[in-house]
Chains A and B, each alone.
Chain A
Amino acid sequence: MMGMAKVSVGTRFRRVPMYLFCLLALCAAPLHGQATGTLTLEVTVQSSISLVFESAPGGCVLDNSGTNNVGLYLGYAVFTGGGSYTGCGTMAKLSGGRYQVSTPFQVVVNKSNSSSPSYRLSSWLAALPPTDVSWVLNPDGNGNGTVLSTTQQYYETANAYGRRTEVLAVQVKNPVPQQMLGATINFMATAN
């Protein structure tokens, strides 16, 4: 064992200059063959939310569903005392000589990089409807809901992010003359 130890120690000492040479060579090589540089990246991440409309099961199919600018064609409705209707929505007779055509649709609001717990939803018409015509959101069985005007109304104040179903209705009184009833309805979701 002692002999082996002596041989081993001697070998180590003989190898020391070789190790040093190798280390020096390794250290020197990158200086000749490498170049370095740094690229610093900066970005400012801001909170944001998105709003898109989607067709609701059982409701009318939206044109361009999945976007924030959709079309909704409710069909033909005729007031004949009890009401008759050909379209994708639901027709109902209301008090006061009115009828209503309605359909559910979905509003999808998502957040990103935000600690906001909820959002509020507002809506308004781009232009006033004809007399005796009303556009209503989320009517109850009697047709009572948020009657839209050209003034922005916050009608839901603490919605959870994600998908929720809303109902859009148009209510028409008996004396309204035959015509195409159209409306552009603006929606805005605002993070709380």
Chain B
Amino acid sequence: MQRQIAILFVLMLSVASLRLHAQNNASGVINASLTNKAGISLLFQSDSTGVALIGASTSTAALDFGRVSRFMAAPSQGVTLSRTSSAFSVSSTFATYVDIGGVTSPGYSLSASLLNVPGLFTYSIDGKPLSDANTVQISNGSPYKQNVAHTVSITIPAGAPAGNVSNTINFIATAN
């Protein structure tokens, strides 16, 4: 009996020793990895000579020309008004800021299209009329990491009814 007790005691000491050893030495490995993908971003910025954008420095901005009329004396700040014999146009400058990472690209091309049917109105970027059916290239080889100024205009025929006019221009910046 005493011998059995002695054996049991020895076994208990051995187990206790093993547990102490396990608590003092733990190991693990983290196998970390990152896939750095190429990416490009497009932001809209206000231009100092144009209408201040709503949501500037984002990729979803808005530009409100305010109230305009063909024979108004002076449009609001940042809006340029011009007239022809049958229509008038309001225009404003704004800027695009495109950044890129993970790839070497000398520049980008910018294209645009209208979200909705323009109806009686003509929307233009830098003098290039936009369409809801086709994408129009606005520029090519534009530099990254700097504001690039553009002019957006709406031509309103004299025969168009008064009221609110709205449309959205979809822009695509493509790395060259």
Contacts and interface: CB of A to CB of B under 8 A. Distances in A.
Interface of A: 30, 32-50, 110-115
* Max chain B C-beta neighbours (<10 A), residue from A41, A46, A112, A113: A41
B32 interface: no
Contact of A44 (B123, B165, B169, B171): B165
A141 to B, nearest CB: 37
Nearest to B87: A112
A115 B163 CA distance: 12
A49 B175 contact: no
Interface residues of B, number: 54
Interface of B: 37-44, 53, 59-72, 88, 90, 94, 96, 98, 102-103, 105, 115, 123, 152, 154, 156, 158-175
Contacts of A44: 65-68, 163-165
A43 B172 contact: no
Contacts, number: 146
Nearest to B96: A37
Contacts of A49: 71
A46 B162 contact: yes
A113 B61 contact: no
A114 B65 contact: no
Nearest to A46: B69
A177 to B, nearest CB: 41
A37 B156 CA distance: 25
Contacts of B159: 113
Contact of B72 (A34, A48, A111, A114): A48
Q: Which 7 A-B pairs give the minimum distances between C-beta atoms?
A: A112-B70, A48-B69, A37-B59, A43-B65, A35-B42, A48-B71, A50-B71
A37 B148 CA distance: 15
B interface secondary structure, majority: strand
A35 B40 contact: yes
B60 A38 contact: yes
B38 A113 contact: no
A37 B43 contact: yes
B69 A36 contact: no
Contacts of B64: 41-43
Contacts of B53: 39
Contacts of B98: 35
Given A45-B69, A45-B156, A40 B166 contact: yes
Nearest to B169: A39
B154 A48 contact: no
A44 B154 CA distance: 11
B164 A42 contact: yes
* Max chain B C-beta neighbours (<10 A), residue from A38, A44, A48: A38
A113 B166 contact: no
B98 to A, nearest CB: 7
A37 B42 contact: yes
A113 B69 contact: yes
25 contacts: A30-B174, A32-B38, A32-B40, A34-B173, A35-B41, A36-B59, A37-B42, A37-B61, A37-B173, A39-B53, A39-B171, A40-B62, A41-B64, A42-B63, A42-B166, A43-B66, A43-B164, A43-B165, A44-B65, A44-B67, A44-B163, A45-B163, A46-B72, A47-B162, A112-B69
